[in-house]
Structure 1
């Protein structure tokens, strides 16, 4: 199975200059927990997650008018759009991440695959293994 059949295509993105408030509103409106941070050509620079906003910014007392650039996770972990679902799972397990960006041949964000997408597409034993490996305490 390829990732194009399970990924969310053409995800909403933001720029490093987007404010934390604006990106939080995007997450609310799009019902997602991660937004790719891209340059003018939609090449990934990083990602901003709801956890980045809550733990790195709000819990530290940072004003929500601060920009994404100071709180995003960079660089973003990416896979190519011709990757197999098994390859994506391996990356998620190795990096212990719950979401991975999918880029096209030009390096432009084409989609995003979340742990939930794997759960819907995979068998019960494979899903359980992904959840276990991603959730392991590690050095990340």
Structure 2
């Protein structure tokens, strides 16, 4: 799990999430309302729901483009639960929230690849490679 994920409020402008993703080399930002998880915006969301729709990144809020139907796990859930949910729900990122839905982390497909009990495989190597930007 990546601890202390990047979080922005629902009303933050789209360009702010894009800047964080660029500066930190990440592909997602969790979206909150009153400190509680309410969405997830990915680099793909920015392209598909923002750029391709010709939205103004300075005036479009994260609430307008983020995914709101989220699958989450708790901090005490095990890796098997996270992997099963990711597979069954076909998601690549799984926010980790406490009992009050405050974000405490995020599990990505890359995190799962790095914990492979058989040693680093092809997926792990790809996930650990530095971004090509």
Q: TM-score, normalised by structure 2?
A: 0.84
Unaligned 5+ runs, structure 2: 123-133
2:69 and 2:9 map into 1 onto residues whose CA distance is 14
**Aligned residues: CA RMSD:** 1.7
Deviations 1:78-105, CA, capped at 9 Å, x for gaps:
1011111000000000110101000123
Kindly indicate whether structure 1 or structure 2 has the higher relative contact order, using CA contacts under 8 Å at least 6 residues apart: 1
Q: TM-score, normalised by structure 1?
A: 0.80
2:106 — aligned with what? 112
Aligned pairs, number:
120
TM superposition outliers: structure 1 runs of 4+ over 6 Å: none
Is 1:25 equivalent to 2:23 in the alignment? no
Unaligned 5+ runs, structure 1: 1-6, 129-140
User: 1 or 2, which has the higher helix percentage?
Assistant: 1
Match of 1:36 among 19, 30, 34: 30
For residue 58 of structure 1, report the CA deviation from its aligned partner: 0.2
